[in-house]
Structure 1
Amino acid sequence: MKKNKILIFFSLLILLVNCENEIALDDMSGKVVIEGNITDEAGPYYVKVTKSTKFFDGNGENFIENAKVVISDQNGQTETLVYDEDGTYQTINFHTHYGDTYTLSVTVEGNTYKATSKMPEYVEFSGLKQQMIYIYDEYRKGLIPLFTDPAAQENYCFFKSQVNDGEYFSYTPISDEGQDGQVNSKPLSRGFKEKDTVLVEMQCIDKQVYNYFKDLPQASFENNGETLSPINPIGNFSNGALGYFSAHTTATKTIIIE
């Protein structure tokens, strides 16, 4: 369960990214895939390293167990992560701070892949507002996450919602476009049923991570899969690796749909 709070998983059923980023399925097999997250909560933090497989080969994930995984920050803090299980590496003593920039370096078979991410300042997640929203060609009960956008700067958030303690998640990236300095009015990207218990996590993320999630089709968000798709939008890693590295804040709220 602890890894589920950190790692974000995707479906194997993505058919395309978009016209600009469309990639042939076979072209993505054998690519290094990295999922890395650090937060403003106490660690450990986790990084998952795998190799992508062909779209319909049915073999699941190829875990990489001998990678060298290092996280560092702008202040000279650095730590080599230790291997746990299922391609997952974890920190032991690494600490995070708002506003700092972090670098994740992953070396596999002599090739090194790097990504940087800046942890934004904390934004208070004040609550959830229930409202009817028009989604999937009909009106449904929706949720608007309530927070006040910090003015005069670009801000990006990512919301993860879980329904009735299940393994089903949906995800919504939100920017402050059109509501700079205002209380958010943009809803989560799915509807809910009466008496649903919904747990929503708010992450303040940087622009690169926002662009990554924005470019993923919503179909890939609403799933209970256990691996990144072999098709991926452009992430923030160098040297052709798939995936993303995110340094973000985290806060949660729970609500029962009326």
Structure 2
Amino acid sequence: MNTRLVNLVIDAARPRVLADFWAALLGWSVAAEEPDEVDVRAPETDGWDLDLVFVPVPEAKEVKNRLHLDLASTTAAHQAELVERALELGGSRVDIGQGDVPWVVLADPEGNEFCVLEPREKYAESGAVASVLVDAHDPELLAGFWARITGWSIQSREGDTLVGLRALSGRGPWLEFLRNNDVKSVKNRVHLDVAPPAGADHAAAVAEVVAIGAAPADLGGPSLPWRVLTDPEDNEFCVLTPR
């Protein structure tokens, strides 16, 4: 497959406000601001190769997100510091039924859930973001699909509960699929974008992604230069134009 991950996109009522929150929390920077998006970018030393893209939407958040970020910490003191920083910036503590766990579940100013993890050796080289975590009815199936369209490889399994992908460089966050039987009811507010390389045939790339299990979503209609598809568990994602 000749596509790669390029963005993690978050719907927002106030994109600049949300971008500022995440830039300050992660120690990253706002790299671009347009009427239809605000981009946050990590420094090269972090290992995160995607842009965090915040786009304006009129709809309010209704349900727990199926995709969320897990933040890495290096010590217990660092974990506490990240939690305190998030709260000072406008985040809040949330209860999603996690019970007594060593990580801390928070939400950003628009209610998007994220976790601040306790120190774990697995994420020691991940940078600020340990993982992009995706709820999945069948983690193995979904991980296999995303491995094919990102070029990342399956590098961890925890029984039939969690399957993790990692970039071949061994740097940056994991992309992990966690078993969760919740039923999807609304369009995801967080999604991934992939793109073929510069000079590639966009239509051919879309057709190839569809051939391995994606389905057309057609959100926004045919006038968009990119194509909106869904993965085998109905999570929206975009195949952007070649770049």
User: When the two structures are superposed, what TM-score results if normalisation uses the length of structure 2?
Assistant: 0.24
Q: Which has more strand, going by share of residues? A: 1
Q: Which has more helix, going by share of residues? A: 2
User: When the two structures are superposed, what TM-score results if normalisation uses the length of structure 1?
Assistant: 0.23
- Whose radius of gyration is greater, 1 or 2? 1
